[in-house]
Amino acid sequence: MKKTLDNLGISQVFIVIIVALISAGIAGAGVWYWQQQKIKKIENSFKTGVTKPKTTPTTSPTTSPTTSPDETADWKTYKNTEPNFTFKYPSDQIVTTPAAGDPAVWLSPNGVRGYATLQVYYEKNSSASPEAYFNYVKTNIGLPEPYSIIGNKTIGINTYYQVNSTHQGGAKTILYFTEDGYGYQISYPTREATLYEKVVSTFEFTD
């Protein structure tokens, strides 16, 4: 009988210990849960309380392309018929139209035909290219010697065959061109190339 009571006392103690442990576990779990909730509240309040600084997008300044002014915009226009071509020229230059025995257009500051001016000579010719027309002139008419061949040169919208000569009054540039059954020789003093190349750049040959 004593053993049974002792056993009963031990069992009661064991039960008390188990209950205490369970209670402590539950209490610990409750404390842990409460702490986790508190941490979450602190984190949420921190997230809502801190605002990220707004960034203003920066735009790079745009640069518009610079265009050179058209120096020929206010120039006069010469129109030739049979053959048909046009070109522009400064107002301080004078155009002299073809005359009997002189099938050429002259451009000069004083209106006088001469070596030191721009000359546009033309004739009917069936050469297939500017270089072919140059060879025709060299073979059948002759060239002012001495001369040096520069070759194809594009000025404006047209490609010419260029030859430089030092005949008579000084260095001279000669441009050969063909269009619609005509051969053209455009010549001017090389020292005036800056001006007269601008004139040549405005040439348009039409049918």
Supply the pTM of this predicted model: 0.66
Question: Domain for residue 120, yes or no?
Answer: yes
Same domain, 26 and 80: no
Q: What is the pLDDT of residue 110?
A: 86
**Residue 37 falls inside a structural domain:** no
Instruction: Quote the domain boundaries for residue 150.
Output: 76-206
- 3-state SS assignment for residue 135: helix
Give the per-residue pLDDT at 5: 43
Number of structural domains found in the chain:
2
The CA distance from 52 to 58, in Å, is: 18
* 195: pLDDT strictly greater than 70: yes
- Give the type of residue at 10: I
Q: Are residues 84 and 160 in the same domain?
A: yes
- What rounded mean pLDDT belongs to the chain? 81
pLDDT digits (tens, 9 = 90+) for 136-164: 999 999 988 899 999 999 999 999 999 99
- 138, two tokens: 């060299």
Burial label, 195 (beta-carbon count in 10 A; 0-12, 13-18, 19+): middle
Q: pLDDT tens, 68-116?
A: 788 888 999 999 988 999 999 999 999 998 877 778 999 999 888 776 6
- Contact between 83 and 205 under an 8 Å Cβ cutoff? The reply is yes
Task: Tell me the pLDDT tens digit for each residue of 41-56.
Answer: 656 655 555 555 566 6
The verdict on residue 35 lying in a domain is: no
Other CB atoms within 10 Å distance of the CB of residue 179: 18
> Tell me, what CATH number does 168's domain have?
3.40.1000.10
Q: Are residues 84 and 23 in the same domain?
A: no
Residue 36 domain-assigned (yes or no): no
- The pLDDT confidence band at residue 197, using thresholds 50, 70 and 90, is very high
